[in-house]
Structure 1
Amino acid sequence: MFRFDDPVYLWLQLLVPVMVLIRFVGWRRRIKKIKKFGDPELVAQLMPDISVYRPSVKFWLALGALSLAIIMLARPQMGTRISHDKRNGIETMIALDISNSMLAEDVAPSRLTKSKMLVENLVDHFNNDQIGLVVFAGQSYVQLPITSDYVSAKMFLQDIQPSLIQTQGTDIAGAINTCMHAFTPNDKVGKAIIVITDGEDHEGGAIEAAKAAHDRGINVFILGIGDSKGAPIPMGNGDYLKDRSGNTVMTAVNEQMCKQIAEAGSGKYIHVDNTKDAENQLNDDLSRLQKGETDSVIYSDYNEQFQAVAIVVMFLLILEICVLYRKNPLMKNIKIFKRK
């Protein structure tokens, strides 16, 4: 497995297009000055030893060396050994509702943002467990396959927005089914599906899906987020979502539906508000699940690969030095840069 140990240095690659732009502006100014001096073809005849192409060749060689030197600073590494780490924990699939109703702000700062914060805090409490992530609205798909890589789980959370799924709605049944098929075949480990939603199930079949998960030994927990009084859905332009009649759409958590799904899945319904009560209660419930041996693939023994990049950098710099701005009199009969 390939990685950069200090990837922050890769931001220096932004210097490359800046250097190209400066080079282009300088070239344009040079052409204008030559035209002011006289006809470009006559000026070229007055300077027969000046090469037209060598300065560009030197520039691109130096720029290539700079780009590779930045890569070298980022310390490219290659994982040379794969180890299978045996851990004693549970498997948890999190299904996160990203429908437009999750943008409501009855839970600060919004239902969706609060949900992502809750998942991130939940991951922080995991030690030997495995986690996966499913996002859903009118459709559902696996955002992160089940893994013990908690860093990746947090990274995937950052980019989750309702725009990821074009088909709007709330298909809880589809989300539960997607989660069921994402677990490993290991039957000796406790498995849980955590659905974070406002409970506005538009498709139906969620209770049947929860029962099917229970039959497979999977507990279904429902985290209902939002206020039962309802809240408008902000659209990002200072206005709120309206129906065809021009009335503001109000969205409220459907606690009754959430409780029925959790009961069918032999789990528990937990209401999420602006406190940490839901997080603490969920951690307690998950700790009671049967822990079994899980297999985690880990890349280890990373070796530095900057030496190979350094050799290429040195070669480019030596080549750049050897290429002169003026034509080499010893090679005047070799027309490398002559236009055909």
Structure 2
Amino acid sequence: MSADFHFMRPWLLVSLVLPVAVLWLSSRSGDVRNQWKVIIAPHLLDRLVVDVTEGPSIRPSWVLAGILTVGILAAAGPAWERERPPFVEDTAPLIIAVDLSPTMDAIDVTPSRLERAKLKIHDVIASRNGARTGIIAYAGSAHLVLPLTEDASLIETYIDALATRIMPVSGKDTAKALKLAEDMLAQESATGTILFITDGVEQTAFEAFKQNTGSGIVVLGVGTAEGGPVKTPDKGFLSEGGNRVLAKLDVDGLQNLHRLTGADVATATADDTDIRWVSQRIRSNFAEKKATEGDRWRDMGWWLVVPVVVALALSFRRGWVVRTGVFLLALRLLSPGDAGAAEFTDMWLTPDQQGRLAFERGDFAGAASHFSDLMWRGVSFYRAGKFADAVDAFASVDTAESWYDQGNAFLHLSRFEEAVAAFGKALDKRKDWPDAQANLVIAERLLEAQKDKEQEEQQDPNEKPDSVQFDDKGKKGKEGQIDIAEQTSEMWMKNLQVSPADLMARKFSLEIQKRKP
């Protein structure tokens, strides 16, 4: 904090000469001898002036100088931390690395560790409100299941298909999964988080965790310390030497991982406590990274309003002003409805400050009604789900950010053509903006899909043929042969039924073959 402390408007500190001048003028005005020495002879002045040794402990000039000093410091804008962007939760990417080693089939948690892990992943996806998520599967090797995508239904389809049998290499190599996740996040402009869902991390992978500095790591352990037998879907219980394999959650290893590498570690719970913990870690990792990379500082000067108010209270005399003020304030606050409290708030906070307080409380609709800043009003409408109003607010500002935000709102409204135009405007004003480029591609694909759907709907499948003719001569039919070789590859692909699990198994196996020298 001390290294980052600075004033956002340091030139206002020049005004600190004002309280010094007040104290100097006050000292001169309090010197009676100095005031009358040019009028009364010195030998008479000594007889006429009465020195007052006792007086008030707090002089009005001191109070005024203190108020001016604190007010100037507040206006100069003291700051020591960066402000978090308004779309933090919407843009934080997440890579989920799922352990598919054989021990994940253990049944110490019902129905099994892997099935419990799938349920937890579904809950994580549901809590992210469409934020981009990627999936990695790993055992003795690591493979990409899905790149970062906002399509929750696609993610859930492939998550349901995960199974330990699809991995081409047995064992567990968490370091390879971490390397693959880091390579994926290295291509992103936003800082991301890697979530490992596993029943243990091997000691040999600790060094890889220590070397990670670019992204946050969260580990969610699945299983129990007592362990349970490993039951495979098709071969029954896994056994070695005639004895069933009893797999235990490596609690000590996870604790050592946290202690030695600083990775956030927790174990899966029966309720959603672990999901809320994971979601909080994802937001915190993103916010902490943004705090070091952002270009907007949080103005903390408004906190100095409190000592100014206290100092002003000392300027009252004999208490009657205080009593009258408290009485009038009580009447205002007790007036019917919220008008009294609203007027009292208007006395001390600007509309934008009131909007910011409502925004941080999660009252986005209320924040939009207060903000005079059009960008923040648009952000509030966007968070409240009022995307049309958000577009209207953003449209009044001609910046790259406003066009980008308009594009996001248009996507929610399924107005893809306007979204494409908005993202194009954003790129015109800010060249090579990765977020705008990525969203432009998404908008173009959605627009193309929308047009294709409209063309299909225009074609009536129930349209009657122009004419129907019967071949009476060929009533008996004609025997013929079909050469299978003449069938095209497209026909084969249409008749080929492959489950997502089989597709991933073949894909992973081919990747292993390509990696071999």
TM class by smaller structure: 0.5 to 0.7
CA contact (8 A) 2:90 2:129 kept: no
Query: Which residue of structure 2 aligns with residue 322 of structure 1?
Result: 469
Letter in 1 for 2:251: E
Verify: 1:110 aligned to 2:112, yes or no: yes
CA contact (8 A) 2:130 2:152 kept: no
Larger radius of gyration: 2
Alignment partners' CA distance in 1, 2:205 and 2:103: 18
Note closer, same or farther for the CA distance 1:87–1:274 as it changes in structure 2 (3 Å cut): closer
Query: Which residue of structure 2 aligns with residue 258 of structure 1?
Result: 254
Note closer, same or farther for the CA distance 1:250–1:200 as it changes in structure 2 (3 Å cut): farther
Letter in 2 for 1:205: T
How many percent identity over aligned positions? 19
String of CA shifts for 1:193-214, please: whole Å, max 9, x gaps.
111100163xx5311221232x
- 1:159 to partner: Cα distance: 0.8
String of CA shifts for 1:304-326, please: whole Å, max 9, x gaps.
23267648x858x557x224333
Alignment partners' CA distance in 2, 1:193 and 1:206: 15
- 1:90 to partner: Cα distance: 0.8
Query: Which residue of structure 2 aligns with residue 300 of structure 1?
Result: 446
**Gapped regions of structure 2 (runs ≥ 5):** 1-86, 291-433, 481-517
Note closer, same or farther for the CA distance 1:155–1:167 as it changes in structure 2 (3 Å cut): same
User: Which protein is richer in helix relative to its size?
Assistant: 2
Letter in 1 for 2:124: L
Alignment partners' CA distance in 2, 1:114 and 1:272: 9
Verify: 1:183 aligned to 2:185, yes or no: yes
Alignment partners' CA distance in 1, 2:138 and 2:88: 31
Q: If the length of structure 2 is used for normalisation, what is the TM-score?
A: 0.42
Q: If the length of structure 1 is used for normalisation, what is the TM-score?
A: 0.62
- 1:155 to partner: Cα distance: 1.5
Note closer, same or farther for the CA distance 1:314–1:228 as it changes in structure 2 (3 Å cut): same
RMSD: 3.1
String of CA shifts for 1:185-237, please: whole Å, max 9, x gaps.
345x3311111100163xx5311221232x2x211111111111121101346
Verify: 1:232 aligned to 2:229, yes or no: yes
Letter in 1 for 2:196: V
Which secondary structure does the structure 1 equivalent of 2:285 belong to? coil
CA contact (8 A) 1:87 1:128 kept: no
Letter in 2 for 1:227: T
Query: Which residue of structure 2 aligns with residue 207 of structure 1?
Result: 206
- 1:266 to partner: Cα distance: 3.6
Note closer, same or farther for the CA distance 1:275–1:338 as it changes in structure 2 (3 Å cut): closer
Letter in 1 for 2:270: N
- 1:262 to partner: Cα distance: 4.1
Alignment partners' CA distance in 2, 1:265 and 1:128: 30
**Gapped regions of structure 1 (runs ≥ 5):** 1-84, 329-336
Alignment partners' CA distance in 1, 2:165 and 2:106: 15
Q: How does 1:21-36 map to 2 (within 5 A)?
A: none
CA contact (8 A) 2:89 2:283 kept: no
Which of 210, 214, 219 aligns to 2:216? It is 219
CA contact (8 A) 1:233 1:250 kept: yes
Which secondary structure does the structure 2 equivalent of 1:182 belong to? helix
* Higher RCO structure, 1 or 2 (CA under 8 Å, sep 6+): 1
